[in-house]
């Protein structure tokens, strides 16, 4: 079917939730994508931080196809090897104690929220259940994770929401302390780099002060690593840049390198909170996704992560002096560029020039495959400079 035919079917039969860019991608290899006309693009988006090693990476492909052809699904009524091995690797690399597997970021956060509420209920009884999140956060699209999301634009049409979420200004340590005390909080939940909120990096001071105040009051610290996790910021998880020890970590996007997957990790305080029957998922921990995730986690070595850091620094340095760039924020290969031209216009122009980048609020957002070669990255940055320049 030609592109116009596909577009017509999409417009007629698919719910109108996505404002799609006018492109049809048909294949890819590593950090390059191809559209239906065979035009080549450099990919600095990785399917929104999902394709950790790009498209159709050979090692990842081998891991998932091997699992696909032996056991693609069995349900959580039984044991499977990929889940067990992955859980061990995740716990060992994070010092967390246990993990619950799901299929997406929203689900990983739902699980974190349920566990935080149950922790407090088990220990303190009713009435201590508020979760403090941050303004400009993004935690997902279900009613509860939207409720956790501190952005009114996502709320306006969907009331009533799950109760018990209060939003603090990021960086307002006095304010967030007061909210935690006044509202009988059981947890504070934050992205350390707000992704959808515009690639805003929280300061180390704020994060550490929140974590230590919360610890003092036995309020759980939940870090949403859905976007920042799995090597994206140059550490395995972004909290490792902040020297804190979260009680619960949620992750998804890049974890399985391109397959739907989510994970919620529990530390010492929370490892035993979820008990038999208190949570579950039919698809969660799918063996094919888990096999993909093992292959991803294994390749995120310290040496590899150092390269992620230096590629990020290279991009920042290259863009710093470009007229039209106001500021570059972010860490590792999760970067936001504030530009003089509107971000949307830059993304459209980049597509014309064979470069895939996305937006985050008013910024141009870069989330390249973590293994992008320096040659491709240099080529991409030259294109980007051209479309940003004023
Ligand atoms: C993308 C994202 C989510 C939601 O993940 P889905 O897989 O779309 O449900 C949650 N939190 C953060 C920080 C995200 O970036």
Q: Which atom of ligand 1 is nearest to the CA of 145?
A: 10
CA of 304 from ligand 1 middle (Å) equals 24
Residue 368 banded pLDDT, cuts 50, 70, 90: very high
Ligand 1 centre distance from Cα of residue 105 (Å): 4
Is 105 close to ligand 1, i.e. is its CB under 6 Å away? yes
- What integer is the mean pLDDT of 210-228? 98
Confidence band for 280, pLDDT divided at 50, 70 and 90: very high
Last residue of a domain, one of 266, 297, 328: 297
pLDDT tens per residue, range 311-354: 999 999 999 999 999 999 999 999 999 999 999 999 999 999 99
- Claim to verify: residue 99 and residue 195 sit in the same structural domain: yes
Q: For the domain that residue 344 is a member of, what is the CATH number?
A: 3.90.1150.10
Q: Let me know whether 362 and 222 are in one domain.
A: no
d(CA 219, CA 210): 10
Q: Which of 246, 277, 297 is the last residue of a domain?
A: 297
Helix (H, G, I), strand (E, B) or coil at 308: helix
**What does the alpha-carbon distance between residue 354 and residue 21 come to, in Å, rounded to a whole number?**
13
251 & 163 share domain: yes
How confident is the model at residue 15, as a pLDDT?
Answer: 98
Radius of gyration (C-alpha) of the chain in whole angstroms: 21
Looking at residue 198, its pLDDT comes to 97
How far, in Å, from the CA of 172 to the mean position of ligand 1? 24
Examine the fold and report which residue of 280, 297, 314 is the final residue of a domain before the chain moves on.
Answer: 297
What crossing angle do the helices spanning 374-388 and 343-352 adopt, rounded to 10°? 120
Ramachandran area for residue 385 (φ above 0: left; ψ -120 to 50: alpha; else beta): alpha
Does the pTM exceed 0.95? yes
Residues 166 and 253 in one domain: yes
Nearest atom, ligand 1, residue 107 CA: 9
103 lines ligand 1 (CB under 6 A): no
β-strands 40-43, 355-356 pairing? parallel
Range of the domain at 72: 60-297
Assess whether 48 and 69 both reside in one domain: no
Question: What is the percent of the chain with per-residue pLDDT over 70, rounded to a whole number?
Answer: 100
Q: Tokens 């759980």 label which residue?
A: 220
Question: Which residue has a Cα nearest atom 8 of ligand 1?
Answer: 105
How far is ligand 1, taken at its centre, from the CA of residue 95, in Å?
A: 23
**Whether residue 273 sits in one domain with residue 307:** no
The domain that holds 101 is classified in CATH as 3.40.640.10
Domain count, the chain: 2
């Amino acid at each position: 079917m030609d592109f116009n035919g596909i577009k017509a079917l999409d417009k007629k039969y698919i719910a109108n939730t996505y404002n799609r860019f006018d492109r049809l991608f048909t294949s890819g290899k590593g950090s390059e994508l191809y559209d239906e006309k065979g035009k080549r693009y450099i990919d600095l988006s990785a399917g929104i931080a999902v394709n950790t090693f790009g498209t159709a990476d050979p090692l990842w492909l081998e891991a998932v196809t091997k699992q696909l052809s032996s056991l693609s699904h069995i349900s959580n009524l039984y044991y499977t090897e990929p889940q067990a091995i992955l859980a061990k690797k995740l716990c060992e690399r994070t010092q967390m104690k246990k993990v619950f597997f799901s299929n997406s970021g929203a689900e990983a956060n739902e699980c974190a929220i349920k566990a935080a509420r149950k922790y407090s209920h088990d220990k303190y009884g009713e009435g201590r259940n508020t979760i403090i999140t941050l303004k400009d956060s993004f935690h997902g699209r279900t009613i509860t994770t939207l409720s956790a999301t501190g952005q009114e634009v996502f709320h306006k049409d969907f009331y009533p929401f799950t109760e018990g979420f209060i939003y603090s200004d990021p960086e307002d340590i006095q304010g967030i302390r007061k909210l935690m005390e006044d509202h009988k909080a059981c947890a504070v939940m934050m992205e350390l780099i707000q992704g959808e909120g515009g690639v805003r990096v929280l300061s180390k001071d704020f994060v550490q002060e929140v974590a230590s105040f919360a610890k003092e009051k036995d309020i759980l610290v939940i870090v949403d690593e859905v976007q920042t996790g799995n090597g994206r910021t140059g550490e395995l998880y972004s909290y490792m840049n902040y020297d804190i020890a979260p009680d619960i970590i949620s992750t998804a996007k890049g974890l399985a390198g391109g397959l739907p997957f989510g994970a919620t990790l529990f530390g010492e305080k929370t490892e035993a909170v979820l008990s038999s029957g208190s949570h579950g998922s039919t698809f969660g921990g799918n063996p094919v996704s888990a096999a993909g995730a093992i292959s991803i986690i294994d390749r995120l070595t310290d040496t590899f992560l150092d390269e992620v850091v230096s590629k990020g620094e290279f991009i920042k340095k290259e863009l710093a002096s470009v007229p039209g760039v106001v500021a570059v924020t972010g860490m590792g290969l999760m970067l936001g560029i504030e530009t003089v031209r509107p971000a949307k216009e830059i993304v459209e122009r980049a597509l014309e020039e064979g470069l895939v980048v996305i937006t985050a609020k008013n910024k141009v957002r870069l989330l390249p495959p973590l293994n992008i070669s320096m040659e491709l990255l240099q080529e991409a940055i030259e294109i980007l400079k051209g479309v940003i320049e004023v």
